[in-house]
Amino acid sequence: MVRELTHFIDGQHVSGTSGVFGEVFDPNTGQVQARVPLASADEIEAAIANAAAAQPVWAAFNPQKRARVMMKFLTLVNEEIDSLAALLSAEHGKTIADAKGDIQRGLEVIEFAVGIPHLLKGEYTESAGTGIDVYSMRQPLGVVAGITPFNFPAMIPLWKAGPALACGNAFVLKPSERDPSVPLRLAELFLEAGLPPGVFNVVNGGKEAVDTILRDDRIKAVGFVGSTPIAQYIYETATANGKRAQCFGGAKNHAIVMPDADLDDVADQLIGAGYGSAGERCMAISVAVPVGQETADRLVAKLTERVHKLNVGRSDDPGADFGPLVGRDGVDRVNSYVQIGVDEGAELVVDGRGLVVEGAEDGYFVGASLFDNVTPDMRIYQEEIFGPVVTVVRAGDYEQALRLADEHEYGNGVAIFTRDGDIARDFATRVQVGMVGINVPIPVPIAYYTFGGWKRSGFGDLNQHGPDSIRFYTKTKTVTQRWPAAPAKTNAFVIPTMD
């Protein structure tokens, strides 16, 4: 039976009125499992108006009360993490274990946001001048919005909404129409946790919905994660309309493998980092850069052995290493890139095309592919494939490997595997990439540090979660005060100083 989904506005489910719907597919079978309404401009504007009306009530909660709502939300989500993970897996296609990781990484940012009473503390200077004190305070922006991708339907909405709500803002979420059920359930749980109705609204939609958010003056800030062309479009449009924007795009994450690295450990790490979640991660390692021919030959042999042992199956199969892609278009895209790599002259060591999972023949499955002898002029190196494809680019020495990461147009994440502390320190200092792992394959920072890429992987001055998120979702007000015992004897026509 096909489920009928809704929007979530003013604390209740609201049927769409546009008459336009998207289809939510089961990646395991290729069958439609739900219809999702795509909001018109009028529907989006109504949701924004509702958020604007509700925000002052929420902002009036003191920070400790807002923190208690966050704590209650954590409890509620943890109580039903199994059902949430099953729902996420059924719409996205990642395994149940991976779906739980998606939710958990989102909750870690909520845990960070629980510290909002401390995070919002301003500064104070007594007697900055004679009888003059100066202090600052952080105040919410008002209504803010998040436009989030299909590949992390729990984590990224929580990365955006958690700090925004904790700071006292109202939040309008436009999730991916491919897998919207978990964001809708999270909205229900926020309400149950004590968030006032209307403070967290979920509206589904396409480009019309996005453009309405970007144009509406009541939206003060926009956060986005997706492809680089769309990230750049949203950043430029939002800022042209006077909004703050943090927009994160594509990636081509490198793993530099030095000759002294433990290659068995490296191969195990790269298998998970490159093929986990079918490669549908912006932090997936898609480029391995072994330094030296011997290192490369040994690493490719170890990767090949492990790739052949990977088990690709239904997302609800506990024995599957990864499940299907989210849509048929993803399968077509990955297959196309594998053929491009072959045509460009790369060595296709393992071909994942044509995989059929027994009992799920119509699902969106594609096996793991591995390329060797890839060169920087090839499209499979330059472009984000966003699927289970790992490319090996051989480097003659450390400096060449470093240049590969430095000169790529994307600068999201990078890793180096080595036992040499001097090399590791030099690499971390010099590499022109926003997030660096040293013997860590997916260097996603913990929640109280900031997440963000450089170059064409990120647009905007402030990143996701950590202290940057508090700065992004608040505005600073500075107060200079004087309580004179007698009238001031100053020249009103001279700029004040703190003598």
Q: What is the pLDDT of residues 275-324, one digit of tens each?
A: 999 999 999 999 999 999 999 999 999 999 999 999 999 999 999 999 99
Residue pLDDT, tens place only, 395-451: 999 999 999 999 999 999 999 999 999 999 999 999 999 999 999 998 899 999 999
Residue 499 pLDDT more than 70? no
| 278 DSSP assignment | G
As a whole number of Å, the end-to-end CA separation of the chain is 76
In this prediction, residue 485 carries a pLDDT of 73
Dist CA 231 CA 228 (whole Å): 5
In this prediction, residue 496 carries a pLDDT of 67
In this prediction, residue 493 carries a pLDDT of 66
Q: What is the mean pLDDT of the chain?
A: 96
| 167 DSSP assignment | T
Which fold would CATH assign to domain 3-249+457-478? Aldehyde Dehydrogenase; Chain A, domain 1 (3.40.605)
Active-site pick, 24, 120, 282, 296: 282
Dist CA 327 CA 325 (whole Å): 6
Q: Quick one: pLDDT band at residue 130, thresholds 50, 70, 90?
A: confident
The lowest-confidence range among 121-135, 167-181, 257-271 is 121-135
247 carries an active-site annotation: no
Same CATH fold, 253-438 and 3-249+457-478? no
Strand ranges inside 53-180, DSSP E: 124-129, 132-140, 143-147, 170-174
Three-state DSSP class for residue 380: helix
Residue 489 pLDDT more than 90? no
Domain ranges in the chain are: 3-249+457-478, 253-438
Residue 242 pLDDT more than 80? yes
Q: In what order do the strands lie in the sheet containing 458-459?
A: 12-14, 7-9, 200-202, 170-174, 143-147, 219-225, 244-248, 458-459
State how far the alpha carbon of 450 is from the alpha carbons of 75, 138, 463, 472, in Å. Answer: 24, 19, 6, 12
Q: Which two tokens stand for residue 496?
A: 């004040």
Residue 22 pLDDT more than 90? yes
Q: Which two tokens stand for residue 188?
A: 């229900």
The lowest-confidence range among 99-108, 123-132, 273-282, 464-473 is 123-132
Q: Quick one: pLDDT band at residue 158, thresholds 50, 70, 90?
A: very high
Torsion of CA 262, 265, 267, 272, to 10 degrees: -150
Task: Give the pLDDT mean for 157-180.
Answer: 98
Report yes or no: 388 and 279 within 8 Å, Cβ to Cβ. Answer: yes
- The half-sphere exposure of 488 on its side-chain side, counting CA atoms within 13 A, is 11
**Sign of the CA dihedral running 260, 265, 268, 271:** negative
Q: Quick one: pLDDT band at residue 491, thresholds 50, 70, 90?
A: low
Bridge partners of residue 477, in order along the sequence: 137
Q: Quick one: pLDDT band at residue 70, thresholds 50, 70, 90?
A: very high
In this prediction, residue 313 carries a pLDDT of 97
> Residue 140, Cβ neighbours under 10 Å: how many?
22
Q: Which two tokens stand for residue 240?
A: 């042209």
In this prediction, residue 38 carries a pLDDT of 97
Dist CA 100 CA 312 (whole Å): 18
Q: Phi, psi at residue 179, to the nearest 5°?
A: -145, 70
Three-state DSSP class for residue 369: strand
Which fold would CATH assign to domain 253-438? Aldehyde Dehydrogenase; Chain A, domain 2 (3.40.309)
In this prediction, residue 325 carries a pLDDT of 97
Report yes or no: 437 and 412 within 8 Å, Cβ to Cβ. Answer: no
Residue 483 pLDDT more than 90? no
In this prediction, residue 488 carries a pLDDT of 60
